[in-house]
Structure 1
């Protein structure tokens, strides 16, 4: 692949946006490669967690503006281009039944900010910057930001961030719930891998069921969520992982899953 890299080790996948000279801006080549890779990852039974990061000193500067101009067309072709070249793989990330962790350093602007929002956890280094920069180009947020951002920060704050296009540092992003944890300088990727490796030892059915249920919870009635919960727990309680975990608990052995509550120095 030309614009991305992918590594897999012991259940953990690391997806790196790899256009450092362009601050990992998303062009057509990158979009196509992401679509192909993520469609494949959605079928991988051995994937337990996915880390998304950027090469060099940036996470992702957004869409490649020169690529936007060369691909300009009428409104119909523009809609199709967004729906099938971009939103298809963004939707795949949101639907992955494994934890997705974004390791952010430097700018996460425009579609790069939107990409970070698709993650279940966002780790950010000091000096990282987040910006819904679309308004600066007369565009609207894309890559599912209309879905993800209000769910994280609330509708009023989402409007303010989209209307203003102002930048957020990691501290404010953490305060708003966008960033899960602020890491040490040059530490986001290592911390993301540590957390991902922890998830690799967890029950894949449990995590997948939780993620599916939480993804629909804000749009679903109490009755429907209770039905989803009951069905999910029925599946989880019949898994081999659950049986092994109970056996270890009763024999006073260390649990198979342990959360790394604190960063390792």
Structure 2
């Protein structure tokens, strides 16, 4: 299913695995990868058999950001550089708002645009050796690929300023504490764990999952009335779906529900923060 130069794309029983495949360059984003990402996104978006997507990097790194060597190969005017970034935003909103669960499996470095791409995911799973960096300030640039929109909504405005303006490296454990990372795994267990995580959504209603994600992504900049209207519209569609009718009929007949989140702990336990107690968390 792949057919790409810089990406690997396969579908395993309802889960699409999309891998950055430039390991010698730490999966840096060159012009070919820039062009192929929206094509791959359209494939997983339009494939009705795909219920969830796992984004990962080949060769021990997620993505080291823009390929500076390729970017500096040809001088550009300010207008050309603006248009180059503008072209990213022709498809990035579709990737952020993909109406399917998106899981990023981050091993090694997620720097610059790689960090930004990880932020587009609904859930970030990381290896214990992963590291994150909004590296742009080191070369006199502003964060791009939607990081200015996404990061403050995850960590808060003040923390986003600190991470972006310092351009410091954030290790995996701190990224988990900041709420960027959902759970941590050993490097050799990460991708399998991400696939298992994605497989949990196979029995969920694709309509309900897609609409929930779509509305949540708008919830930070709409007022209560607008969100209520979206809620009413979405619930009407879901109540009219075959999935909902069959789930209710099964429940009334005493059958187990098809989509129940497993209770086992994800990955190794999170570190206990100062002043926190483990009481009542058994």
User: What TM-score, normalized by structure 1, do the two folds share?
Assistant: 0.96
Q: Distance in 1 between matches of 2:115 and 2:263?
A: 26
Q: Distance in 2 between matches of 1:83 and 1:169?
A: 30
- The aligned residue for residue 228 of structure 1 is 230
- The aligned residue for residue 82 of structure 1 is 85
Segments of 5+ residues of structure 2 without an aligned counterpart are 269-282
> 2:110 touches 2:131 (CA, 8 Å); kept in 1?
yes
Picking from 20, 29, 41, the partner of 1:26 is: 29
- The aligned residue for residue 179 of structure 1 is 181
- Could you list the per-position Cα deviations for residues 98-148 of structure 1 after superposition, in whole angstroms to 9, with x for gaps in the alignment? 010000110000000000000000001101000000011111101100110
1:189 deviation in Å?
1.1
Question: 1:193-208, aligned counterparts within 5 Å?
Answer: 193-208=195-210
Q: Distance in 1 between matches of 2:124 and 2:114?
A: 12
Question: 1:1-80, aligned counterparts within 5 Å?
Answer: 1-80=4-83
Picking from 209, 212, 221, the partner of 2:211 is: 209
1:264 deviation in Å?
8.4
- The 4+ residue runs of structure 1 with deviation greater than 3 A are none
Q: Distance in 2 between matches of 1:261 and 1:168?
A: 29
Q: Distance in 2 between matches of 1:120 and 1:264?
A: 17
RMSD (CA atoms):
1.4
Q: Distance in 1 between matches of 2:181 and 2:263?
A: 16
- The aligned residue for residue 104 of structure 2 is 102
User: What TM-score, normalized by structure 2, do the two folds share?
Assistant: 0.90
1:15 deviation in Å?
0.2
Q: Distance in 1 between matches of 2:250 and 2:177?
A: 38
1:192 deviation in Å?
1.1
1:17 deviation in Å?
0.2
Segments of 5+ residues of structure 1 without an aligned counterpart are none
Picking from 91, 94, 101, the partner of 2:93 is: 91
1:234 deviation in Å?
1.1
- The aligned residue for residue 126 of structure 1 is 128
> 2:185 touches 2:267 (CA, 8 Å); kept in 1?
no
Q: Distance in 2 between matches of 1:109 and 1:19?
A: 15
Question: 1:216-255, aligned counterparts within 5 Å?
Answer: 216-255=218-257
